[in-house]
Amino acid sequence: MPLPARPAPSTAAPPVRRAALRRLGEWCARHTLIVIVLWIVALAGIQAANKTVGGSYSDDFSLPGTQAQQGRDVLQAHEPAAAGTSSQVVLHDAEPLVDFQPQVAQAVAALQQLPHVLSAQSPLPPAGQPAPPGGPLSTDGLTGYITVRFDTNPTLLGTDYLNGVDTAVAPLRNAGVQVEYGGPLGELARPAPDDRSSEAIGFAVAIVVLLVGFGSVIAAGLPLLTALFAAVVGLGVLGLIAALATFATVAPTLATMIGIGVGIDYALFLLTRHRQNLMDGVDPVASAGQAVATSGRAVLVSGCTVIIALSGLSVSGISFITKLGAAAAVTVVSAVLGALTLLPALMGLIGRRMDRFTVRRPIAETGAPAGEGREGRGAGPSGGEVSAGSWHRYARRVEANPWRYLVTGAVILAVLSIPLLSIQLGYIDDGADSTDFTDRRAYDLMSQAFGPGSNGPLTVVVDQSAVPAANRPAVQTAVQQSLTGLADVASATPLQTSPDGAVLFDTVIPAGAPQDRSTTDLVNHLSDTVLPDAVAGTGAKTYVTGNTAAQVDFLDIVSSRLLLIIAVVVGLAFLVILVVFRGLLVAVKAAVLNLLSIAASYGVVVAVFQWGWGGPALGVSGKVPIESYVPMMMFAIVFGLSMDYEIFLLSRVHEAWLRTGRSHDSVAHALEITARVISCAALIMVSVFAAFIVSDNIVIKMMGLGLAVSVLIDATVVRLLLVPAVMTLLGAAAWWTPRFLDRILPHIDTEGEGETV
């Protein structure tokens, strides 16, 4: 394989494109008030429109073609009252509930009169009759539940609907009975998520990091201001889009996490280049234009890479997942726009006063304190002088012992990845939530009185419309017998028949909690083996439906498509790196190292939540499975974000390589001028993500921890150990590209080679 000789900078983008970005930066820096006013007007207008016509967020989604959805459709067609979305109103008192017969009857009647209610079933038996075993009244008579069925998911009805429910059960509460809401009704009763505390924590840490890292008060504030403006605008746009499509309740929080994180990063990279220009005596307007034309170009490419990775989620074929990726992409777009337009305007407004207020000597790219000379510098990759600072010396140590650093980084990632081997994907039920929530209290009451499986009942549906009437009793007997004595089944009610006789249905209570592996196995065993065998040869069709069954179907779909999504996202990222840097081995290295980094972060998440190593300290009750879609979302987000640092580091290596052709010097030079800013940017993003661990939503906790750990690993083990070691070992071969690929690949200038002030 012939190694590439020193390349001519022929890969630069056409001058007209370079000039366009430069003109954009200079225009924004020169017309500061116009740009700032436009952003303020956009923010105010979008927020006003969002409050007026913006949509809401809900976890209601369907999975067409799945067994749970088909069973629900069959039941809806033949027995609508049994097909709706069910929720429990759980009652408990120190005295038997039969003593509150009038209040219970009054509450049930009032619930039946509410809009969207199909039926409400009292837990108490008719007067003078004993409670049937396995019914909605506990054996001691102290706990019971009213099953309310809705024609839609209650979470879609809005919090005002809850006022009617509260009014309906008011007689029970007035009598001293404890009333709690379970299932979707309990989710509706939860307070709206408030991310302000998480955002405040993230911003506070970011201020400290920027002040310590760069010394300037103004320079520390500009990235935060830019990111905040862009994130608020992006969230407003997301709210308007939510009026047209249903997004999950975690969508705005996820979009906030990503938007603030990348917004600060993008602004920081541009501002660092701009401040170095100012220290070198460049005019502020020209400096802003040059920063946008160079680092801004890398921001543009990085933003597109993140969006491409998020777009890979559409391969799942699940609208719920696809829309989560789209929600995050909205704030990524606004972050890029903020960095390329609002930040240059602020830089132009500040002018040369960037370092007027300082807490230490200001430092920009090269690590040279402002106002100091260039003494102590040696020859660098460009043939001129560069700082021989600590990062430069570190890079030289890596260069001298690349295998030592490579093995050290690989061992760290391997150890952190060990828990991944035991990962259990599943559905986190209400039992893991805080007792501050009514659905958690309802969960505990149900578990104590009826067993944990009562929180996730399954509905068995048998469509016997194709079975002759004479054979239907035999079908009913066979199905009932198949459910008797079945492992992992706590109880099963007698089969009921729809009014037209075409459908049989009953309720099966699992022995385990909804999130337990045994419940998932039971659903699959019923739907794949037990029920089909019971009706074999009769022409009847069987289904297992209900909320828990739908979650199992969702898990099965996500699990089956996770590897496909990983392959698509890795493939897209590989192509981006290959096109940008025109180095086949560089692209392979980026894909492999990012896979190892993500595997390590998965391992940490499994250890904390599934193994319980620190889960209680994070507000998680007990051990929980990994929410089925978290690995998929983490992969797309982390892979996109890790490409940010990859592009910013490699763009500087590539820039020096194009000038000198000396691969080792290029790695040392790039690491020196980017390590500090990448480390600060990563620490800020880690802080932003980690701050969301205080969220009440366990999925957000899981995502926050996973993303924080991923960025931390990527910015330390990968960027400081593995990348320099691998690039040193590859040498000039890193930039080798087969001739046929070189001819067909487009030319993209990530750092504006040839752009000078």
Q: What is the mean pLDDT of residues 164-179?
A: 95
Model confidence at 641, in pLDDT bands (50, 70, 90)? confident
Strands (E), 455-514: 458-463, 489-492, 496-497, 503-510
Q: What are phi and psi of 644, to 5 degrees?
A: -55, -55
**3-state SS, residue 191:** coil
Using the predicted structure, report yes or no on whether residue 156 has a pLDDT greater than 60. yes
pLDDT in tens, 105-144: 999 999 999 999 998 999 998 876 777 777 899 999 999 9
pLDDT in tens, 213-223: 777 788 888 98
Distance in angstroms (rounded) separating the CA atoms of residues 637 and 587: 18
Using the predicted structure, report yes or no on whether residue 362 has a pLDDT greater than 70. no
Q: What are phi and psi of 235, to 5 degrees?
A: -65, -35
Residue percentage of the chain with pLDDT more than 70:
90
> Which pLDDT score is estimated for 236?
93
> Which pLDDT score is estimated for 153?
83
Q: What are phi and psi of 492, to 5 degrees?
A: -145, 130
Phi-psi region at 281: left, alpha or beta (left = phi > 0; alpha = psi -120 to 50): left
Strand (E) or helix (H) holding 386: strand 385-387
The one-letter code for the residue type at 686 is V
Contacts of residue 477, Cβ cutoff 8 Å, sequence gap at least 6: none
> Which pLDDT score is estimated for 720?
83
> Which pLDDT score is estimated for 359?
67
Model confidence at 19, in pLDDT bands (50, 70, 90)? low
Distance in angstroms (rounded) separating the CA atoms of residues 304 and 306: 5
Architecture in CATH for domain 458-545: 2-Layer Sandwich (3.30)
pLDDT in tens, 86-98: 899 999 999 999 9
| Bridge partners, 180 (sequence order) | 90
Contacts of residue 564, Cβ cutoff 8 Å, sequence gap at least 6: 315
Distance in angstroms (rounded) separating the CA atoms of residues 28 and 342: 7
- Average pLDDT of every residue of the chain: 84
**3-state SS, residue 362:** coil
Q: What is the mean pLDDT of residues 430-442?
A: 89
> Which pLDDT score is estimated for 656?
77
Model confidence at 389, in pLDDT bands (50, 70, 90)? low
Distance in angstroms (rounded) separating the CA atoms of residues 704 and 528: 36
Please indicate whether residue 318 or residue 60 has the higher confidence score (pLDDT).
318
- State the CB neighbour count (10 A cutoff) for residue 191: 9
Please indicate whether residue 425 or residue 219 has the higher confidence score (pLDDT).
425
Residue environment code for 234-262, b if the CB has 16+ CB neighbours within 10 A, otherwise e: bbbbbbbbbeeebbbbbbbbbbbbbbbbb
Using the predicted structure, report yes or no on whether residue 3 has a pLDDT greater than 60. no
Transcribe 49-115 into DSSP letters. HHHHH---B------TTSHHHHHHHHHHHH-HHHHSEEEEEEEE-SS-GGGGHHHHHHHHHHHHTST
Contacts of residue 372, Cβ cutoff 8 Å, sequence gap at least 6: none
Q: Do the domains 15-57+193-426+553-744 and 458-545 sit in the same CATH topology, yes or no? A: no
- State the CB neighbour count (10 A cutoff) for residue 264: 30
Model confidence at 380, in pLDDT bands (50, 70, 90)? very low
CATH number of 82-189: 3.30.70
The one-letter code for the residue type at 231 is A
| In the chain, where the domains are located | 15-57+193-426+553-744, 82-189, 458-545
Contacts of residue 426, Cβ cutoff 8 Å, sequence gap at least 6: 515, 517, 520, 555, 624, 625, 626, 627, 628
pLDDT in tens, 465-488: 999 989 999 999 999 999 988 889
pLDDT in tens, 711-734: 899 888 888 888 888 888 888 888
Retrieve residue 391's tokens.
Answer: 């990062």
Least confident of 170-184, 347-361, 503-517: 347-361
The one-letter code for the residue type at 507 is T
> Which pLDDT score is estimated for 89?
95
> Which pLDDT score is estimated for 664?
72
Least confident of 335-339, 398-402, 543-547: 398-402
Architecture in CATH for domain 15-57+193-426+553-744: Up-down Bundle (1.20)
Using the predicted structure, report yes or no on whether residue 321 has a pLDDT greater than 90. no
Please indicate whether residue 152 or residue 111 has the higher confidence score (pLDDT).
111
pLDDT in tens, 680-711: 888 888 888 888 888 888 888 998 899 899 98
Transcribe 611-669 into DSSP letters. S-SSTGGGT--S--PEETTHHHHHHHHHHHHHHHHHHHHHHHHHHHHHHH--HHHHHHH
pLDDT in tens, 218-267: 888 898 899 999 999 999 999 999 888 888 888 888 898 888 888 888 99
Pairing of strands 626-627, 425-426: parallel
Using the predicted structure, report yes or no on whether residue 524 has a pLDDT greater than 80. yes
Q: What is the mean pLDDT of residues 307-322?
A: 85
619 to 64, 434, 607, 697: CA distances (angstroms): 35, 7, 15, 10
Q: How many CA atoms lie within 13 A of 376 on its CB side?
A: 11
Distance in angstroms (rounded) separating the CA atoms of residues 645 and 304: 14
Using the predicted structure, report yes or no on whether residue 172 has a pLDDT greater than 80. yes
| Spatial contact of 178 and 91, defined as CB atoms under 8 Å apart | yes
Strand (E) or helix (H) holding 678: helix 663-691
> Which pLDDT score is estimated for 279?
82
56 to 190, 228, 319, 697: CA distances (angstroms): 15, 22, 16, 17
Model confidence at 387, in pLDDT bands (50, 70, 90)? very low
pLDDT in tens, 67-84: 888 999 999 889 887 877
Q: What is the mean pLDDT of residues 42-55?
A: 90
Using the predicted structure, report yes or no on whether residue 353 has a pLDDT greater than 60. yes
Rounded to 10 deg, the angle between the 217-242 and 251-279 helix axes is 150
Cα–Cα nearest to 456, from 510, 493, 528: 510
Give residue for tokens 């016997």.
464
pTM recorded for the entire structure: 0.81
Retrieve residue 460's tokens.
Answer: 């068995």
Rounded to 10 deg, the angle between the 15-30 and 32-53 helix axes is 90
> Which pLDDT score is estimated for 643?
73
Phi-psi region at 668: left, alpha or beta (left = phi > 0; alpha = psi -120 to 50): alpha
Length of the chain: 757
Model confidence at 675, in pLDDT bands (50, 70, 90)? confident
Q: What is the mean pLDDT of residues 165-189?
A: 93
Please indicate whether residue 11 or residue 401 has the higher confidence score (pLDDT).
401
pLDDT in tens, 557-595: 888 888 888 888 888 878 877 887 778 888 888 888 888
Using the predicted structure, report yes or no on whether residue 345 has a pLDDT greater than 90. yes
Please indicate whether residue 401 or residue 415 has the higher confidence score (pLDDT).
415
> Which pLDDT score is estimated for 375?
36
Model confidence at 370, in pLDDT bands (50, 70, 90)? very low
Pairing of strands 489-492, 85-92: unpaired
Using the predicted structure, report yes or no on whether residue 8 has a pLDDT greater than 50. no
